[in-house]
Amino acid sequence: MKRIVLSLGAAALLAACGGSEPAAPPAPAPEAAPAAEPAKTDAVPVAAQAETSQPSADGWVTYGGDFTAIPAMPAAKLLATPADYVGKSVKVEGEVAKVCQSMGCWLAFEDGEKSITVNMKDHGFSVDKKGAGSWCEVEGTVEKVGEEFTMTASAVRMKKQDAPAEEPAEGAAPAEGEAPSKG
């Protein structure tokens, strides 16, 4: 019975993350009598929520497993010749173009018309759904599925990019604590 419930839950989860529309909230579970002892299972959680931890001192938030010492390459290099990396573990860095808006279970790098989707390994973790525009490092394996190249990530770390400082409009009131300009 547990396997059926887990299988149905996994199928629903995979169906929910396929599109950009948010999934409908789950129906409330029927109340059950408290168990005398917690049930033991060998099942691995199907999808973990995005990390809610605070960014590190240098602004990075890490998701998934640990990184290895593989040197990072620009995402543009992977996108230029993805076939060269099929079946290989790589670390890629670049600006995130898109993130799954249902669960945060994938992200994409783009360079012109070329793109690669990065799936979180076994839906075992997810990233911040507001991560588009963030700088990102991803470590994982490149795969070819049909005519498309994808990457399965074992570890991801994201850092929000600083917004460029805006110059105040001419004649605008000075910001708080700023002296008015003389001109």
5-53, pLDDT tens digit by residue? 334 444 444 455 554 443 444 455 555 555 555 444 444 444 444 444 5
Residue 32 confidence (pLDDT): 53
pLDDT in tens, 125-150: 999 999 999 999 999 999 999 999 99
Q: Where along the chain do its domains lie?
A: 60-159
**Secondary structure (3-state) at 140:** strand
**Comparing C-alpha atoms, which of 117, 105, 112 is closest to residue 144?**
117
Average pLDDT of the chain, as a whole number: 75
Q: Model pTM?
A: 0.63
Q: Is the pLDDT of residue 106 over 70?
A: yes
Find out whether 73 and 90 touch, Cβ atoms under 8 Å. yes
Q: For residues 21 and 9, what is the distance between their CA atoms, to the nearest angstrom?
A: 19
Burial of 111 (0-12, 13-18, 19+ CB in 10 A): middle
Residues forming beta bridges with residue 4, ordered by sequence position: none
Q: Is the pLDDT of residue 108 over 60?
A: yes
CATH for the 60-159 domain, from 3.30.1490.440, 2.60.40.10, 2.40.50.200, 1.10.10.10 = 2.40.50.200
Mean pLDDT in residue range 57-67: 90
Confidence at 179, pLDDT banded by 50, 70, 90: low
Burial of 97 (0-12, 13-18, 19+ CB in 10 A): middle
What phi, psi does 139 have (nearest 5°)? -120, 130
User: Look-up: residue for tokens 């460029």?
Assistant: 164
Residue 151 confidence (pLDDT): 97
Considering the chain, what percentage of its residues have pLDDT values greater than 70? Answer: 58
E-state strands within 135-180: 135-145, 148-159
